[in-house]
Amino acid sequence: MPRIKEDVISTIEIKKSRFLTYLHRTNQEEEAKDFLKMIKKEHPGANHHCTAMIIGSIVRSNDDGEPSGTAGHPMLDVLQGKGMEDILAVVVRYFGGTKLGTGGLVKAYSDSVKIALEKAALTEMTMFKEYEITFGYEWIGKLDGYFRNHQIEIISKEYEQTVTYHYLTQEDITQDILALSNGALFCTYIKEYPKEKIIES
């Protein structure tokens, strides 16, 4: 399930109405409520503060005075359509004097969240395997080049009489290392665990 990497703010204007969208990452409903309170304090003169949230089993939306079903639910539809998790979306509307009608409101609130999500870096939990490899100093250049070229993350390096790297990978590269070192170097599997990975910007 994708999550936003960090909070996002986006603004669009439709017929002089201004829609400010805040996407906030959170896994706690109380914290989401506190964030909404903060937004309301920042925009006390706004006409509406509409919300949609997906936090675990909590799936909720609020039209905050807009006609029923024209704001919160369309916002929630966008979040669910993207499969989002641990997110609160708040759209603050400053009314510009021209009514948008039911269809116009649905499109405006949907587009507000869509545009904000397009600006967001999205992440997901991916299973990685941790391996250990110990080698002589003469192999540093060749191994560093391999890890860099294959974008494999080295999570720790120890330099003693020999060098030990711990690295993360989604695929077993043992055969690559054997081929690279003409059979001299071996990788030892340590454990598997989830790690957040950017999937979209």
What is the mean predicted confidence (pLDDT) over 27-47? 96
pLDDT at residue 200, as a whole number:
55
SS3 letters across the chain = CCEECCCEEEEEEECCEEEEEEEEECCCHHHHHHHHHHHHHHCCCCCEEEEEEEECCEEEEECCCCCCCCCHHHHHHHHHHCCCCCEEEEEEEECCCCCCHHHHHHHHHHHHHHHHHHHCCEEEEEEEEEEEEEECHHHHHHHHHHHHHCCCEEEEEEECCCEEEEEEECCCCHHHHHHHCCCCCCEEEEEEEEEEEEEEC
- pLDDT grade, residue 193 (50/70/90)? confident
Give the whole-number percent of the chain exceeding pLDDT 70: 99
pLDDT at residue 201, as a whole number:
47
The CA distance from 65 to 125, in Å, is: 37
The CATH-assigned architecture of domain 124-200 is: 2-Layer Sandwich (3.30)
Q: What is the pTM of this model?
A: 0.76
Q: List the domain boundaries for the chain.
A: 3-120, 124-200
The CA distance from 134 to 171, in Å, is: 19
What is the mean predicted confidence (pLDDT) over 154-176? 95
Summarised one tens digit per residue, pLDDT across range 116-157 is: 999 999 999 889 999 999 999 999 999 999 999 999 999 999
Superfamily grouping for domain 3-120: Impact, N-terminal domain (3.30.230.30)
Strand partners, 153: 168
pLDDT at residue 6, as a whole number:
94
